[in-house]
């Protein structure tokens, strides 16, 4: 039972009580399952309920691999999903056909609108700071946002959503939004979500300089470059946009003051010894 509740929390993190109630009333039994599914699909609030299950289990990805030699089945699935998309549900679920990879894209849409801002005008060694990545959908059709991430320079470490340093992890720092917090608290990778035309989402990447507690005293000012990548889907294809931002990291006032004090003390001892 505990395992079952854990699965509910993982898949339906926001709708756990509703789904648990359906199971407890045996609404998914052989006699009622079709009626229940149709009822849920018609419900405005819970119409996307089963989409989380499809994404969590990667059901569409497995179907694409299994039926890649029988494209007509995938085409039929895409047509049925299109009807759901027109009703405003299952918009994060798309089906790719093998022929899509061969055919030229019918429209060259250009890039997403991606803007980067830093939380502080002055970034100081030893202190956390945030990089905000604002993604706007400039197209006339919905876009699926899969991830916002950046390679971490060797001078920096990323801070996860719970405020813990991931200094031992090398490579990639992922951005998170407010809607991702419940997933991250449970250690679950946030699910893709959709940006309607002109919609905007902000992803936050939290960083700080690498090193132990007092290493900021010996920090040398440096300029770093972050290459931030946004992976998204549109026109039944996956795309990747990259935007660059520069970070100037300075030595803090505390480090300057401590350095001046120790320098003065050391200079006093030198003068005493020289006398």
The DSSP annotation for the chain comes to: -HHHHHHHHHH-TTTHHHHHHHHHTTTTSTTTHHHHHHHHHH-TTTTTHHHHHHHHHTHHHHHHHHTTT-HHHHHHHHHHHHHHHHTT-STT-----GGGGTSPPS------EEEEEES-SSEETTS-EEEEEEEE--SSS-EEEEEEEEEPPTTEEEE-TTS-B-TT--SEEE-B-GGGHHHHHTT-PPPPEEE-TT-EEEEEEEEEE-S-TTGGGG---EEEEEEEEEEEEETTEEEEEEEEEEEEEE--HHHHHHHHHHHHHHHHHHHHHH-
Return the minimum-mean-pLDDT range out of 9-13, 75-79, 183-187.
183-187
Clarify whether residues 139 and 25 are in a common domain: no
237-250 and 123-124: which strand pairing? parallel
Nearest to 92 by CA among 135, 70, 60: 60
Q: Evaluate if residue 218 carries a pLDDT over 70.
A: no
Contact status, residue 137 vs residue 197, Cβ threshold 8 Å: yes
The size of the chain, in residues, is: 275
Token pair of 113 as six digits: 């609108």
Q: Evaluate if residue 260 carries a pLDDT over 70.
A: no
pLDDT at 263 (0 to 100) = 54
Clarify whether residues 152 and 191 are in a common domain: yes
pLDDT at 168 (0 to 100) = 45
Clarify whether residues 238 and 161 are in a common domain: yes
The CATH number of the domain holding residue 132 is 2.60.40.10
The pLDDT-based confidence of 96 (bands split at 50, 70, 90) is confident
Clarify whether residues 66 and 185 are in a common domain: no
Clarify whether residues 242 and 130 are in a common domain: yes
Nearest to 191 by CA among 205, 207, 202, 177: 177
Clarify whether residues 95 and 164 are in a common domain: no
* Cβ-based neighbours of 28, under 8 Å, separated by 6 or more: 22, 36
In a domain, 67, yes or no: yes
Q: Evaluate if residue 135 carries a pLDDT over 50.
A: yes
Q: Of all residues in the chain, what percent carry a pLDDT higher than 90?
A: 23
In a domain, 274, yes or no: no
Mean pLDDT over 259-275 rounds to: 57
Clarify whether residues 178 and 236 are in a common domain: yes
pLDDT at 269 (0 to 100) = 57
Domain with 45 in it: 2-101
Mean pLDDT over 187-215 rounds to: 82
> How many structural domains is the chain composed of?
2
* 142 vs 195: CA distance, rounded Å: 6
Q: Evaluate if residue 189 carries a pLDDT over 90.
A: no
The pLDDT-based confidence of 13 (bands split at 50, 70, 90) is confident
């Amino acid at each position: 039972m505990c395992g079952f509740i854990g699965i509910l929390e993982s898949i339906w993190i926001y709708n756990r009580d509703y789904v648990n109630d359906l199971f407890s009333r045996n609404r998914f039994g052989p006699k009622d399952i079709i009626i229940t599914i149709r009822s849920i699909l018609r419900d405005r609030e819970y119409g996307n309920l089963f989409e989380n299950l499809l994404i969590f289990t990667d059901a569409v990805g497995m179907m694409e691999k299994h039926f890649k030699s029988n494209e007509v089945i995938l085409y039929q699935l895409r047509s049925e999903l299109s009807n759901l998309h027109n009703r405003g549900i299952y918009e994060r679920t798309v089906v790719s056909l093998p022929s899509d990879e061969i055919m030229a894209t019918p429209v060259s849409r250009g890039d997403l609108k991606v803007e980067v801002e830093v939380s502080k005008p002055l970034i100081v060694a030893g202190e956390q700071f945030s990089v905000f990545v604002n993604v706007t959908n400039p197209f006339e059709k919905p876009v699926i946002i899969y991830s916002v991430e950046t390679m971490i320079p060797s001078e920096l470490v990323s801070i996860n959503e719970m405020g813990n340093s991931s200094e031992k992890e090398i490579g990639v720092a992922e951005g998170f939004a407010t809607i991702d917090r419940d997933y991250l608290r449970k250690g679950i990778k946030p699910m893709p979500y959709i940006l309607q035309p002109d919609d905007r989402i902000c992803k936050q990447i939290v960083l700080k300089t690498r090193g132990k507690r007092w290493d900021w005293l010996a920090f040398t000012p440096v300029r770093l470059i972050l290459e931030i990548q946004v992976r998204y889907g549109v026109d039944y294809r996956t795309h990747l946009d990259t935007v660059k931002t520069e970070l100037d990291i300075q030595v803090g006032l505390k480090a300057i003051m401590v350095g001046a004090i120790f320098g003065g003390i050391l200079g006093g001892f030198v003068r005493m010894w020289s006398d």
